[in-house]
Amino acid sequence: MLRITMFSLFTLAVAGCATVPPSERNPRDPWQRINRGIYKFNDVFDRTIAQPVSRTYVRALPPVVRTGIDNFFNNVTYPDVIVNALLQGQLKPFARDTGRFVVNTTVGVAGLFDPATHIGLAYEDRDFGQTFGKWGIPSGPFVVVPFLGPSDVRDGLGRIPDAYAEPWAYIQNPYWDYGTLLLYEVRNRAALLPLTDMANKTYDPYAFERNAYLQNRDFMVKGPQAENGAEEELKQLQEDSNQPP
């Protein structure tokens, strides 16, 4: 994941520009011309390779198999969640997350099953970008990273330590390394297919994806406080994404 992130950040620096619709301006997206250019590149890659592979993955594997794969990857990447709970000073969630990881790794057969959820140890989602936000680091401008999609400066930097909390940083066998990473990315892309179908129905999928991403990340960092501006954000999301470019 670190290799992909570093390559993507390099590509971001040399990416071309795209035309910005006159009506589409957002103060959190000052690099919109470059972002739209990268978005178009990502969209071509997504439509020609990522989406077909992901839809084949969904059609070819029965739900019970896909659930097992989801459980496995949720568990094997869970140390990232545990570390960030501790860094955020959330001691009780840290203890629960540690318990969840232990239960699913042992009783859940290396994470293929999820008995922890059934005993009240629910899945949580934390990463270093969120932790940086909790520490008061501003998000910075919105960016679209080649291959990886929407982000902001803070979350982009957070991807680097996130990579060291994931198993691919420590797998020495290249076949297992790239093989499991490929399956992980296909599984992640398959999970986003419903959102893709929704975005494709709007006049401006770029604005839809950007606003949805920023709203979700704000909620992850600010929690209930982010709800104060949720109605305004949703209105802006609908206006931006439904205006013809």
Chain segment 102-115, per-residue pLDDT in tens: 999 999 999 999 99
Among 50, 49, 44, 108, smallest CA distance to 74 is for 108
Can you give the pLDDT at residue 239? 55
Give the containing element (helix H, strand E) for 106. Answer: helix 91-106
Q: Count structural domains, the chain.
A: 1
Inform me whether the pLDDT recorded for 5 exceeds 80. no
End-to-end CA, the chain: 34
Q: Is residue 36 domain-resident?
A: yes
Q: Is residue 117 domain-resident?
A: yes
CA 35, 47, 22, 217 torsion-angle sign: negative
- 10 or 145, higher pLDDT: 145
- Answer yes or no: are the C-beta atoms of 141 and 28 closer than 8 Å: yes
* 152 C-beta neighbours (distance < 10 Å), count: 22
Inform me whether the pLDDT recorded for 9 exceeds 60. no
Q: Is residue 211 domain-resident?
A: no
Can you give the pLDDT at residue 2? 44
Q: Is residue 82 domain-resident?
A: yes
Which pLDDT band, with edges at 50, 70 and 90, does 168 fall under? Answer: confident
Cβ-proximal residues to 27 (8 Å cutoff; 6+ apart), any chain:
none
31-79, pLDDT tens digit by residue?
999 999 999 999 999 999 999 999 999 999 999 999 999 999 999 999 9
Q: Is residue 239 domain-resident?
A: no
CA–CA dist 227, 166 (Å, integer)? 31
| CA-to-CA separations, 8 to 14, 59, 74, 137, 196, in angstroms, rounded | 10, 30, 24, 22, 21
Query: What string of DSSP letters covers 24-73?
Result: ---TT-TTHHHHHHHHHHHHHHIIIIIHHHHHHHHHHS-HHHHHHHHHHH
Range of the domain at 185: 2-192
The pTM is what? 0.81
Q: Is residue 216 domain-resident?
A: no
- 215 or 23, higher pLDDT: 215
Can you give the pLDDT at residue 25? 73
The residue type found at 32 is Q
Q: Is residue 238 domain-resident?
A: no
Q: Is residue 87 domain-resident?
A: yes
Instruction: For the chain, give the percent of residues with pLDDT over 90.
Output: 72
